[in-house]
Amino acid sequence: MSDTPAPEKHEFKAEVAAVLKLVTHSLYTNREIFLRELISNASDAIDKARYTALVDTSLEGQELEPSVRLSADPERGVLVIEDNGIGMTPDEARANLGTIAHSGTLAFLEQAAKAQADGKSPDVQLIGQFGVGFYSAFMVADRVDVFTRSALPGSEGVHWSSTGDGSFTIAPSDKAGRGTRIEVHLKEDAKEYLDHYRLENIVKRYSNFVMYPVQFAVKKEDQDEPEWTQLNEIGAFWTQNASELNDEDYKEFYKHVMGGFVLPGDEPLGRMHLSMDAPIQFHAVLFIPGRRPADLFNEESKHVQLFARRVMVMENCDKLLPTYLRFMRGVVDSEDLPLNVSREMLQENKNLSAIRRQLTRKTLRLLSDTAKEDRERYEKVFENFGVFLKEGLHLDAGHKDELTELLRFGSTGHEAKWVSLREYVDTMPEGQQAIYYITGRSQEELRGSPHLEALRDRGYAVIMMTDAVDEWVVQDLAEYDGKKLISVTAGDLNLDGSTGDEEKKDDSDDKDDGLAAELAPLLERATELLADRVSAVRVSRRLTSSASCLVDDAGGMGRNMERILQAAGREVSSRPRVLELNGGHSFVKAACALVQSGDDAARADAYIELLHDQAHLSEGEVPDPKGTVARIQSMLDALVEK
């Protein structure tokens, strides 16, 4: 190429330059992952070529057998990675290898480099996830040459070159055939990456399930042409017979599905491998992940990969499972889907809907089997993904029963950390008619709630709901196994299983009527005094040791729901609640006597205010801190003066 024009020099974008600096100078641990990154790019490029060929028949090189080829040139100290994928036009090379597509990369790398400087081991494995894949070559190279030619007809070859120091050059290249050839000029201390067995080991570790053969050139002395040996297993993992695969195989495949990043302890919590022939043919390998992926609440969140006839057609297909099962990860491959499918078409595709129905059913079965077989493992599943199952309860009426059985809650009456509604009902003492629950911010706070007292005395367990979505769960559920779900903070609680709105009378009602008559002067004065803060004052059926508590009006929005909506920035004005007083409590009796005597009206009012303060305090709220402190102080002063 004697008359080729001089290479054009380009500066890297600032962020790339900074990333490169960190990659080349600061990050040394686990350098071998550069190979996985380059092989994965090569495999993506072949995917793209195959996919594009479906809609563009003019694409060059359609007759080629896909392959990724590695070869070592010990004399020049160069490792070559060559693919016959889609390649790049000069413009694409300039754009793709001069910028960084993913935001957050630099910040992540800076953190990693700092961790390393502090003697900690950074998660350098995560580099691929942040899209510095290609640049990771500079961990082992002091120069990288890329020779590439796009498969689009009439494309020119291009030579991209950089020493990773802030700029790169672009020049024409006479590269023959479509695809990309990357020459990695290994640093002095990275010559190990020329070794056949070292490379084979890395490929097996990271790239075993790549869809295309990854070959290595072995040159025999008596032969001119190298012989290509295959380093990976290839073949679609999911088409294998499940009975011939073991736990290790699945663990490896899981790693592959997660992009190679599985930290110890994050192994999958469950898996299923389906191979269906009728009515729709498909294979699926799906996992319940070992931890909640960070991006689950993000629209772009990765879902299940969709293949049609072993060609990946969608990396992130959200139509294979209902949204509430978006935490599942894995692969689905079907013979019965068109290859050139778009997201819009998928929506209408009958076969896909059939696959989705099957996968939904099987996933719920997998979850319920896990719950039956291994309580501890299911608890982990629930802690990670329970919130999604609750979302499902709201969205998927068709699977309401299965989803209800999968729910777990804390309970005041059970030793176990989590109980199912089934367990709760099966262990209800005789006479208990309903399922009682309380909602709030934390189990700790709820356990101290005065609302639980009468239930505790009767030996009734109370389900503690501390997740914001639980407020919706109880609305969706309303009852279970013929038993109503009743909030212990709502309405006039009758422990025979009904709320006070239903006109029901029993012995305890007569007793209450008696107490109400006894306390009438106190109730009357308190109603007057607190008129703008509570909706009513009455004698409580639920308190046995505390003096007072606040109760949600029957039918009204619960205080916890108000709190959740307020936290979400919604304007919700707190509705006044009912103040309940414990007629058996000595302080309440004393307050009543004081009101009745008419001796010291100011003091009697202070007592009433204190009963109201206490009810708030037991819920962790102090609506009037200054007043509360003043009232407590004056009581203490009175004690000291005595």
By CB under 6 A, what part of segment 107-146 binds ligand ADP?
131-135
By CB under 6 A, what part of segment 178-217 binds ligand ADP?
180
Integer-rounded Cα radius of gyration of the chain? 34
Residue nearest to ligand ADP (CB): 133
Output 37 or 145, the one with its CB closest to ligand ADP. Answer: 37
Do residues 18 and 100 make contact, with C-beta atoms less than 8 angstroms apart? no
Residue 93 beta carbon to ligand ADP: minimum distance, rounded to whole angstroms: 8
Residue 85 beta carbon to ligand ADP: minimum distance, rounded to whole angstroms: 5
Output 133 or 410, the one with its CB closest to ligand ADP. Answer: 133
Output 35 or 352, the one with its CB closest to ligand ADP. Answer: 35
Output 133 or 289, the one with its CB closest to ligand ADP. Answer: 133
Q: Which of 66, 77, 85, 440 binds ligand ADP (CB under 6 A)?
A: 85
Output 305 or 546, the one with its CB closest to ligand ADP. Answer: 305
- Does position 83 bind ligand ADP by CB under 6 A? yes
DSSP letter string, 53-114: HHH-TT-TTTTPPP-EEEEEETTTTEEEEEE-S----HHHHHHHTTS--STTHHHHHHHHHH
Q: Residue 403 is encoded by which pair of tokens?
A: 């989803």
Q: Residue 607 is encoded by which pair of tokens?
A: 């007592």
Residue 180 beta carbon to ligand ADP: minimum distance, rounded to whole angstroms: 4
Residue 313 beta carbon to ligand ADP: minimum distance, rounded to whole angstroms: 18
Do residues 125 and 202 make contact, with C-beta atoms less than 8 angstroms apart? no
- Does position 41 bind ligand ADP by CB under 6 A? yes
- Does position 60 bind ligand ADP by CB under 6 A? no
417 closest CA partner among 387, 452, 443: 443
- Does position 103 bind ligand ADP by CB under 6 A? no
Output 112 or 515, the one with its CB closest to ligand ADP. Answer: 112
Do residues 183 and 36 make contact, with C-beta atoms less than 8 angstroms apart? no
Q: Which of 14, 101, 117, 517 binds ligand ADP (CB under 6 A)?
A: 101
Residue 47 beta carbon to ligand ADP: minimum distance, rounded to whole angstroms: 10
- Does position 285 bind ligand ADP by CB under 6 A? no
- Does position 88 bind ligand ADP by CB under 6 A? yes
483-487 and 435-439 strand pairing: parallel
Output 16 or 308, the one with its CB closest to ligand ADP. Answer: 16
Alpha helices in 449-497 (DSSP H): 453-458, 470-477
- Does position 29 bind ligand ADP by CB under 6 A? no
Task: Report the C-alpha gap between 295 and 301 in whole angstroms.
Answer: 5
Q: How far apart are the first and last CA of the chain?
A: 107
Q: What is the 3-state secondary structure (H, E, C) of 349-373?
A: CHHHHHHHHHHHHHHHHHHHHHHHH
> Applying CB under 6 A, which part among 34-42, 380-388, 441-449, 468-476 lies near ligand ADP?
34-42
Output 79 or 364, the one with its CB closest to ligand ADP. Answer: 79
Do residues 304 and 363 make contact, with C-beta atoms less than 8 angstroms apart? no
Do residues 306 and 314 make contact, with C-beta atoms less than 8 angstroms apart? yes
Residue 58 beta carbon to ligand ADP: minimum distance, rounded to whole angstroms: 19
How many chain residues bind ligand ADP (CB under 6 A)?
18
Q: Which residues contact 611 (CB under 8 A, 6 or more apart)?
A: 526, 547, 548, 579, 581, 587, 588, 591
Residue 67 beta carbon to ligand ADP: minimum distance, rounded to whole angstroms: 13
Do residues 578 and 605 make contact, with C-beta atoms less than 8 angstroms apart? no
542 closest CA partner among 584, 572, 502, 577: 584
Residue 97 beta carbon to ligand ADP: minimum distance, rounded to whole angstroms: 6
Residue 555 beta carbon to ligand ADP: minimum distance, rounded to whole angstroms: 55
- Does position 45 bind ligand ADP by CB under 6 A? yes
Q: Which of 19, 22, 39, 42 binds ligand ADP (CB under 6 A)?
A: 42
Q: What is the 3-state secondary structure (H, E, C) of 267-298?
A: CCCEEEEEEECCCCCEEEEEEECCCCCCCCCC
Residue 279, phi then psi, degrees to nearest 5? -75, -25
CA dihedral angle for residue 42, residue 45, residue 49, residue 55, rounded to 10 degrees:
160
- Does position 51 bind ligand ADP by CB under 6 A? no
Task: Report the C-alpha gap between 602 and 624 in whole angstroms.
Answer: 18
Residue 92 beta carbon to ligand ADP: minimum distance, rounded to whole angstroms: 7
Residue 261 beta carbon to ligand ADP: minimum distance, rounded to whole angstroms: 14
Output 15 or 509, the one with its CB closest to ligand ADP. Answer: 15
Q: Which of 22, 86, 389, 615 binds ligand ADP (CB under 6 A)?
A: 86
Q: Which residues contact 72 (CB under 8 A, 6 or more apart)?
A: 78, 79, 80, 193, 194, 195, 196, 199, 217
Residue 263 beta carbon to ligand ADP: minimum distance, rounded to whole angstroms: 21
Output 135 or 216, the one with its CB closest to ligand ADP. Answer: 135
Task: Report the C-alpha gap between 327 and 518 in whole angstroms.
Answer: 58
> Applying CB under 6 A, which part among 6-14, 96-104, 230-238, 499-507 lies near ligand ADP?
96-104
Task: Report the C-alpha gap between 595 and 614 in whole angstroms.
Answer: 19
Residue 136 beta carbon to ligand ADP: minimum distance, rounded to whole angstroms: 8
Binding interface with ligand ADP (CB under 6 A):
37, 41-42, 45, 83, 85-88, 96-97, 101, 131-135, 180
